[in-house]
Amino acid sequence: MSRVTKFAARDPGPAARVTGFMAHLRENGLRLGVAETQLALTALCEVDASQPDQARQVLKAICTGCKEEVDQFDPLFDSFWMDMGRVKQKVVSTTPSKSDDNMHSSREAQGEDAGGAGSANAPDGGDGPAESDGEGRLIATEVRNLMRKDLRDLVRPEDITEAEAVARKLGAALRDRRSRRRIAARKGDRLHFRKTIRASLATGGEPIRLMRKNRPDRPQKIVALCDVSGSMTVYARIFLAFLAGLMRSDPTADAYLFHTRLVRITEALRDKDTMRAIGRMSLMADGFGGGSEIGPSLGRFARTYAKRFVDGRSVVLILSDGYDTAPPAVMDAALADLRKRGCKIIWLNPLKGWRDYAPVADGMAAALPHLDLFCAANTLADLAALDREVMTL
Amino acid sequence: MTWTDLQTALAAGGYVASDDLSVAIHLAVTLGRPLLLEGAAGVGKTQLASSLATARDTKLIRLQCYEGLDAAQAIYEWNYQRQLLTIRAAAEDGETGKAVEDRIFSRDFLLERPLLAAITQDVPPVLLIDEIDRADEEFEAYLLEILSEFQVTIPELGTVTAVTRPIVILTSNGTRDLSDALRRRCLYYYVEYPDRQTELAILNARCPEIEARLGAQIVGFVQKLREEELEKVPGIAETLDFAAALMGLGIADLTDDPGVLQHTLSTLLKTQSDRAHITPEVASRIAGKAA
């Protein structure tokens, strides 16, 4: 890992390499433009760029824009500059018969060869535009997971379009919250006396400019957590399509997947290309269809992301069947923690639609007292029908 | 000035900056780009701006953001009272309308708010825009314009262009996601909780009179405490308070007196459930490990 990449002698120079690196970052989901490349080159002139550490620090400051990208940056840097990726590459297709082999090739290969494919400069395999993207191919991973599924097999674009409409409807039902308080606004139904008097100072005490105030919209932010453990596989198609639709229709929404781990998929799902978004999501959902640790995952959420993204104006939507392998006390504590942030919690359980279902699973029973709404949902139609219930929250 | 010089200068002012951070600040200064700092509360984001101002021997201009912050509080406002008084006085003296108008819309009657003040300094100041995530999104958009153009248009006076470009530092606690446009224009650094060596260096820089052994114990204790499941993880400011409290009480060793340790924990733990979680037994166990 520590060796510096040897570039081919034909390589046109440092500027081209940095450009290649930028393209590499772009392929892996960082949003960077030409201006950043230019800035990076200028910045590298300011320090001793031949020192890998300094170059890393410089490029990190310029190319990243949030915590997630900072965490992502180091492996990407290593894979490009530290001999895990090459500039001159042949696209080696290990299983040419499969059309979506990009997702699989890097995981099955081991060692240095693993990161070989997928520079921005390399031509793609020609498998069609949606399938041949280079998402994450250079990220080296040692973790093996036997329960690997490509979510792209599960979710179809038509589902997402349909789910988008549902999500929009649900979002609108949740969002219609107006504050009691009035604040200054350009167009308002009442006069803002304090501001009017203040403004009248400029005109010698004559209130010529009338200031107004209005009740501001306080949109509820939707935070969706989807369980993708083994027992939920049957419903995954609906829920993942719903998540994708939600992210598309609502720019403030936030989405997470959990099974035994918790991952934030908001950024991945915001990708404009729907199938690529799902592809990125499936990369992140390592361990899809595995065991479920709902309580610990929710606990982790409450302790980390919730502190940043959940407040009194959030609605936390949990999509899970409540079959938890962890003790119920963990679930209880996690939801109590989450509640303290002042949010509303809605639990959508696909099993509740069954006849004679009772929430007897220990985890589910422990969760019940903390929920604002506990509903059934196993089809998109069910989700669409939720808006009335959500409205009364 | 290279980044190592900057690091040394910051250290002389009592701010221990990591290599990454020093490079990021150095770039922000040389490239004239704003630097966006994110991180948990109490990791020294705001302190960095004031230390940087001290290190570069310039002024620190601070704009604290809050919900509802508008241009009148952030950029400029006319001093209406003074204008009115001047008009009154002018009327008595028989001054003509045009002359009075010119006079009352001059720089003397302008109340400079932080953003305007920052671009009219002779020596480039450090402009700290604190907790940008608390301001409204509309203000963020407005700020973008100023940060890219470094000029302010005042209808009555004309355009004020920056004499010198301030060093802009933005901080955010991440209570909401900032817009991509803002992130794009800034250099970015995520400030983590310091590691053991760094924190010890900070403690020694801030409280030089502390004994080496107690200092190491305090840092070890706080580092271990951060690994516990707490609602509010103690930051560096809390460590310094804790050290000050222990020194004030004349404690030489953390493990000496569990009772006193428990009392001084109020400087580190700021919620009731955290207090309940760190019982005297847990505290002395952590202290024992740290020692």
Residue A292 lies in a domain: yes
Contact B188/A54, CB-based, under 8 Å?
Answer: no
Say whether both B275 and B178 belong to one domain.
Answer: no
Taking all residues of chain B, what is their mean pLDDT, rounded to a whole number? 87
How many CA atoms lie within 13 Å of A260's alpha carbon, on the beta-carbon side? 10
Cα B94 to Cα A215, B72, B102, B264, B276: the distances in Å are 48, 32, 15, 69, 74
Reported as a single tens digit per residue, the pLDDT across B68-79 is 788 788 888 888
What is the amino acid identity at position B238? E
Residue finishing a domain among A98, A118, A144: A144
Cβ neighbours, 10 Å, residue A66: 19
* pLDDT (0 to 100) of residue B94: 81
**Burial category of B99 from C-beta neighbours within 10 Å (exposed 0-12, middle 13-18, buried 19 and up):** exposed
Same domain, A373 and A268: yes
Residue B95 structure tokens: 């001054």
- Using CA atoms, how far residue A300 sits from A261, A296, A326, in Å, is 9, 6, 13
Nearest CA in chain B to A341: B231
Question: Do A368 and A262 sit in the same domain of this protein?
Answer: yes
Strand partners, B158: B154
Same domain, B84 and B138: no
CATH of the domain at B27: 3.40.50.300
pLDDT score, position A152: 63
User: Which pLDDT band holds residue B167 (cuts at 50, 70, 90)?
Assistant: very high
From the DSSP assignment, how many helices (H) and strands (E) are in chain B? 15, 9
What local confidence, expressed as pLDDT, does residue B18 receive? 87
> Are residues B80 and A42, on separate chains, in Cβ contact within 8 Å?
no
The residue of chain B nearest to residue A300, with distances taken between CA atoms, is B229
Q: By the CB < 8 Å criterion, does A58 face chain B? A: yes
CA angle B183, B184, B186 (to 5 degrees): 65
Is B17 in the same domain as B152?
yes
Could you tell me if A291 and A201 lie in one domain?
A: no
Q: Please report where in the chains the tokens 């470094």 appear, as a residue.
A: B150
Q: Which residues pair with B36 in a beta bridge?
A: B170, B188
Is A352 in the same domain as A226? Answer: yes
Reduced to 3 states (helix: H, G, I; strand: E, B; else coil), residue B268 is coil
A44 — contact with chain B (CB < 8 Å)?
Answer: no
Q: Judging by beta carbons within 10 Å of its beta carbon (0-12, 13-18, 19+), is residue B205 exposed, middle or buried? A: middle
- Measure in Å the smallest separation between the Cα of B149 and chain A Cα atoms: 16
Q: Which of A35, A47, A67 sits opposite B38 (nearest CB)?
A: A67
Is A140 part of the contact surface with chain B (CB cutoff 8 Å)? no
Task: Give the number of domains in chain A.
Answer: 3
- Split at pLDDT 50, 70, 90, the class of B125 is very high
Contact A48, A79 (CB under 8 A): no
Residue A156 lies in a domain: no
Name the residue range of residue B141's domain.
3-75+113-191
Q: What is the pLDDT of residues A304-351, one digit of tens each?
A: 888 878 888 888 999 888 888 888 888 898 998 898 888 889 898 888
Last residue of a domain, one of A97, A119, A144: A144
Whether B67 has a pLDDT exceeding 50, the answer reads yes
Instruction: Examine residue A376 and state whether it is found in any structural domain, yes or no.
Output: yes
What per-residue confidence (pLDDT) applies to A84?
58
- pTM here is 0.69
Residue A100 lies in domain? 1-144
In A190-272 the beta strands, taken as DSSP E runs, fall at 190-191, 212-214, 221-227, 254-258, 262-264
How far is A226 from B146, CA to CA, in rounded Å? Answer: 41
Where a domain ends, among A144, A171, A198? A144
AA letter at A84: M
For chain B positions 254-283, those within 8 Å of chain A (CB to CB) are: none
Rounded to the nearest angstrom, the gap between the alpha carbon of residue B54 and the centroid of all alpha carbons in its chain is: 13
Intervals of chain A under pLDDT 50: 1, 85-148
- CB within 8 Å: B184 and A36: yes
Contacts of A65 in chain B (CB under 8 A): 36, 180, 183-184, 186, 188
**Is the pLDDT assigned to residue B6 strictly greater than 80?**
yes
Residues B55, B34, single domain; the answer is: yes
Q: What is the pLDDT of residue A175?
A: 65
